[in-house]
Structure 1
Amino acid sequence: MTNQDFYSFPPSSKKAWIDQVKKDLKGKDFDEALSSRLWNEIKIQPFYTSEDLEAPRAQFKFHPVSPIPGVSPRIWSNLVSIFPDNEKDANQEILQSLQNGADGLALHLDGTENLNQILKAVHTEFISTNFLPTGETALSFHMIQDWIESVHLKPSMLNGAVLWSPCDELFRSGENFNSGISQAAQAIHDFKEFREFYPMTIDLSRYANAGGTGIQELTFGLGEVIELIDHLSKKAISPTQVFENLAFHTAVGDSHFAEIAKVKALRKLVLELASNYGVQIEMESIHIITSTSEWSKSVLDKNTNLIRQTYEAMAGILGGSNSLWVKPAEGKNASILEKRIARNVSTILKEESYLDKVMDPAAGSYYLETLQGEIEKSVITALQELEDKGGWLKSFEERSLHKEIRASRVSAQKKVLADSQIKVGANKYLAKGKLEKHLPFENIIEKDFELLPSRATYFVEQNTLNKA
């Protein structure tokens, strides 16, 4: 233990520091000069001390300790996007990815594929296998079940999730919620023995990628959970069964420290929500998938997108991601090089930045701990207001949640257009000459029930590329 007499400086209170700063500002307003607002809601102070913490916070556990001796304390799966237009080619891509840093898959499937061919020679017991239905959901579930039966897959040999929930059906067509609830109840029954596989995933990322704030993302995402519990109870599915079969998918944007606090807050809020239903779950049993943001990227500067991927991935890991999904900005049309870079981000953060050496490196930070607490309070207040107004489903049917997300989206896009918010490569420090690499631009046309992914730089892109 360090001898306290070593420190010869007398302790100073936060008030004393603030008073000194005010003198140095020579009449300038302290808050106006040094404070800011996160997501137009949470005040960010210029510095934090132990006085800002209501009580010491314990280190989070993001997952159980590995039973394998010598494994690092922090573990996450590195997911890669797979679009199997050609099943044999997709299989080769999967095997090549798994041999070069990936240990998880995000399979985009319409339900008509041959999984035996796509996953040929893939040892699913050692990786995270995630299925994202792009067509009729029932077909995808039948396909997964047929594959499990055909290869005689034991429950312990399948880890991952189906990246779908009944709420997704509403954003696809504006209807089919009740049929989605029936599908969810059936999936919970069908996969009850697969303890490490989650047949439903709450897609919080839809709100963030459509331009919503972190508060809105958590509020509406947890609102979906409440709605599912209420409707699944009519199918004789208990809250315990719901929480045991749910994964959570959140998008990590470019507000680095705020995103770390947001992901940690999500885990804490899920734990508290479960407790409110009388469900006792362990913090480390909550499965969170973090993907790099689509909202933060720009089609004006391909190279800067690669940098954003890295610090967003870092925030996801520090926030407690169980599966890290670095999405290539070009999506399905990504080049071999871009896919390789996306895949290698996780490896670099593990092998060269050593982010796997400590379970919760952010624990103890006065700033992050305080920020996490403020996020939790804001979400709880917003969630109570949402329930008072009739709940998530009513807000969807009345399109009030769409209105709220779109208002945040347009506000942010106008700030970028007016240069009041800087986006490198879009409205400041533009790439020139050989470095200039624009991606294809398409106008986003959104139906009233949809919340489509957009970008903070969308208005700038319209002005720049539509004139080109």
Structure 2
Amino acid sequence: MTNQDLFSFPPTSKEDWIDQVKRDLDGKDFDDTLTSMLWEKIKIQPFYTAEDLKGPSAEFKFHPDSKIPEISPRIWNNLVSIFPKEDKSTNEEILHSLQNSADGLILHLEGTENLNQILKAVHTEFISTNFLPTGDISQFFHLIQEWIESLTLKPSMLSGAIFWNPCDELFRSGENFDLGMDQAVKAINDFKEFREFYPLTIDFSRYANAGGTGIQELTYGLGEVIEVIDKLSKKAISPSQAFENIAFHTGMGDSHFAEIAKVKALRKLIVELASNYGVQIEMDSIHIVTSTAEWSKSLMDRDTNLIRQTYEAMAGILGGGNSLWVKPVESKKASALEKRIARNISAILKEESYLDKVMDPAAGSFYLEKLQEEIEKSVISGLQDLEEKGGWLKSFEDLTLHAKIRNSRETAQKKVLSDSSIKVGANKYLSKSKIENHLPFQPLIEEDFELLPSRATYFVELNHLSDS
């Protein structure tokens, strides 16, 4: 090894480069020409150097090492959506998915299904089994407990999460938060032996899919975490127990590099938040589910949505998601082809793009590390402001939370409508004739307490598709 400098070029500072760029701009304003704003908070520079960072950052570890020898260092679950209908056909769909690249399920359950029939011949010890309640929550939990007891399921044979937390009840009905907290306590106690199963999931994605920025998504999502943990503490569930039983679900938007930094920032902020409660947790013990966003899709060009799904999935993997949920745009009405494409994206990114070969490929990027740092600062500032004004629950009750998300949503939708923000297939490069390659349009009708999923292209769709 030698310390000899093999290059004779003198060192050049970032300031020197900026001065040169300004001369090359020939009078044009540097900021107006080459910088941009991300999520209304963060200025994006045209380039970054080591000078932008406080020092070298450590590589993240997103999960423990595999127990199986020779497995690639980066592991994630490929989740597929299952909407049970008739028992036999649902079971066939599940088995077909698991035999064709899926290794995880998200079962959307009313609470009346026959899980023994639906999951017949499914070896839960080898997959990630996740449940998303769509009906009465107490009936749903009773169904899960009955299924576990009927199989005498050992704790080591179940991993995954329940995609629910008490705050969901507020967004469904505007009430029932206290009843939800009682159910959360019962769920934590019922599943205390199931160390790889999370009975609560904080849904950060609700803010992203309703039109909130990445900063708002993390701020209000972590606000939910604080609210839930504080309420659980009053019901004899310690912060340590709470963090052990909570998973985190974030939506991946179309700002590719920003989304990578956002997920990494979320993992770090969860560790710091736990530390504030006196709980020491390791980064690789946190379970984050990343899903493709509904907000970024367009009803006007279904084919372009497939491309969006792919780079959003990439961002979720590179950012450190432990489970990847590629959502078919047509949800429960998705065709067999759309389900197959959504399911295969993870396999292609693993087997053909080799995203599983390195634990943290984004480590060492000046741009991404600075972006992550800026995101963390903005979120911490937002959380401090939220807590000073009474906390997450207060912001829900006085609807300030809803107002801010809806303001961001409308601002983004107006930019697409005015063509100041480009969405391929919606306001750029769209069909010149009658639009045939589109999905059914339904107007968004939202109660005050709700935050329903929408799309950046909503106003454009309203003009072009509302009568089709």
- TM-score of the pair, normalised by structure 2: 0.99
Task: Show the counterpart of 1:45.
Answer: 45
Query: Where do 1:386-405 residues align within 5 Å?
Result: 386-405=386-405
Percent of residue pairs bearing the same amino acid type: 77
CA-CA distance at 1:4 after TM superposition = 4.7
Mapped pair 1:278 → 2:278: yes
Which residue number in structure 2 is paired with residue 218 of structure 1?
218
Superposed CA offset, 1:104-157 (max 9, x none): 001000111010011100010111000000001111111111101101110000
| SS class of match (1:235) | coil
SS in 2 for 1:390: coil
Distance 1:456 1:255 in 2: 13
Q: CA deviation at 1:55?
A: 1.6
What residue is the counterpart of 1:298 in the other structure?
298
The residue aligned with 2:200 is 200
1:361 has 2:361 as partner: yes
Q: Would the aligned equivalents of 2:416 and 2:456 in 1 still touch at CA under 8 Å? A: yes
What's the secondary structure of 1:92's corresponding residue?
Answer: helix
Alpha-carbon separation, structure 2, partners of 1:432 and 1:72: 47
CA offsets, 1:329-375, max 9 Å, x none?
00000000000000000000000000000000000000000000000
In structure 2, distance between residues paired with 1:16 and 1:418: 38
Which residue in 2 is equivalent to 1:67? 67
In 1, Cα distance between equivalents of 2:433 and 2:101: 33
Aligned to 1:454, the other structure's residue is in SS state coil
Deviations 1:295-320 (A, max 9, x none): 00000000000000000000000000
Q: CA deviation at 1:5?
A: 2.8
Judging changes above 3 Å, is the alpha-carbon distance between structure 1 residues 356 and 41 closer, same or farther for their aligned structure 2 residues? Answer: same
Matches within 5 A, 1:186-197: 186-197=186-197
**What are the residue-to-residue correspondences of 1:38-437 with 2, within 5 Å?**
38-431=38-431, 436-437=436-437
Residue pair 2:204, 2:220 contacting (<8 A) in 1 also: yes
1: CA distance between counterparts of 2:56 and 2:255? 25
Distance in 1 (CA, whole Å) between partners of 2:2 and 2:104 is 44
Partner secondary structure for residue 254 of structure 2: coil
Q: Secondary structure at the match of 1:211?
A: coil
Could you say what secondary structure the match of 1:81 adopts?
strand
91-100 or 8-17, larger mean C-alpha shift: 8-17
Q: Deviation of residue 466 (structure 1)? A: 2.1
Aligned amino acid, residue 218 of structure 1: L
User: Relative to structure 1, is the Cα distance of residues 170 and 4 closer, same or farther in structure 2, using a 3 angstrom cutoff?
Assistant: farther
Q: How many angstroms apart in 2 are the aligned matches of 1:136 and 1:346?
A: 32
Structure 2 distance, partners of 1:248, 1:4, is 48
Name the SS for the 1:374 alignment partner.
helix
Q: Distance in 2 between matches of 1:55 and 1:210?
A: 36
State the Cα distance separating 1:11 from its structure 2 match.
Answer: 1.8
CA distance in 1, matches of 2:467, 2:80: 35
Change in 2 beyond 3 A, CA 1:277/1:150? same
Distance in 1 (alpha carbons) for counterparts of 2:357 and 2:132: 31
How far apart, in 2, do the equivalents of 1:50 and 1:436 lie?
A: 50
Q: Distance in 2 between matches of 1:91 and 1:4?
A: 65
Partners of 2:111 and 2:135 within 8 A in 1 = yes
Post-superposition CA distance 1:147-172 (Å, at most 9, x none): 01101110000000000000000000
Which piece of structure 1 moves more, 429-438 or 296-305?
429-438
| Aligned partner of residue 131 in structure 2, secondary structure | strand
Q: Whole-Å Cα distance in 2 between the matches of residues 371 and 355 of structure 1? A: 21
Could you tell me how far 1:219 is from its partner in structure 2?
0.4
Give the distance between the partners of 1:13 and 1:297, measured in 2 at CA.
41
Shift of 1:7: 2.4
Aligned to 1:6: 6
Deviations 1:421-454 (A, max 9, x none): 0000000011467994100000010000000000
- 1:467 Cα offset (Å): 4.3
Distance 2:9 2:351 in 1: 39
1:9 to partner: Cα distance = 2.1
1:3 deviation in Å?
A: 6.0
Letter aligned with residue 61 of structure 2: K
User: Bigger shift: 137-146 or 254-263?
Assistant: 137-146
Provide the rounded CA distance (Å) in 1 between the counterparts of 2:246 and 2:122.
Answer: 25
Count of residues paired in the alignment: 468
Determine the C-alpha separation between the residues in 1 that align with 2:446 and 2:273.
32
Displacement of 1:229 after TM fit?
A: 1.2
2:129/2:159 contact within 8 Å kept = yes
| Structure 1 residue 234: Cα displacement | 1.4
SS in 1 for 2:65: coil
Tell me the distance in 2 between the aligned counterparts of 1:258 and 1:47.
15
Asked if the contact 2:300/2:435 (under 8 Å) is kept, the reply is no
| Structure 2: distance between partners of 1:109 and 1:318 | 30
Distance across 2 between alignment mates of 1:111 and 1:442: 27
- Root-mean-square deviation over aligned CA pairs: 1.1
Q: Relative to structure 2, which stretch is displaced further, 313-322 or 433-442? A: 433-442
> Aligned with 2:234: secondary structure?
helix
Per the normalisation by structure 1, the TM-score is 0.99
1: CA distance, partners of 2:443 / 2:322 = 34
Which segments of 5 or more consecutive residues in structure 1 lack a partner in the other structure? none
Change (3 A) 1:132 1:2: farther
Structure 2 SS opposite 1:27:
coil
Which residue does 2:462 correspond to in 1?
Answer: 462
Cα pair distance change 1:245/1:23, threshold 3 Å: same
Q: Verify the 8 A CA contact 2:442 2:466 in the aligned structure 1.
A: no
Q: How much has 1:6 moved relative to structure 2?
A: 2.5
When residues 240 and 421 of structure 1 are mapped into structure 2, their CA distance, relative to the original with a 3 A threshold, is same
Using the TM superposition, give the Cα deviation of residue 233 of structure 1 relative to its aligned residue in structure 2, in angstroms.
1.1
**Structure 2 residue matching 1:280: 3-state secondary structure:** coil
Residue 287 of structure 1 aligns with an amino acid whose one-letter code is H
Give the 3-state SS of the residue equivalent to 2:5 in structure 1.
helix
How far residue 86 of structure 1 moved from its aligned partner, in angstroms, is 1.3
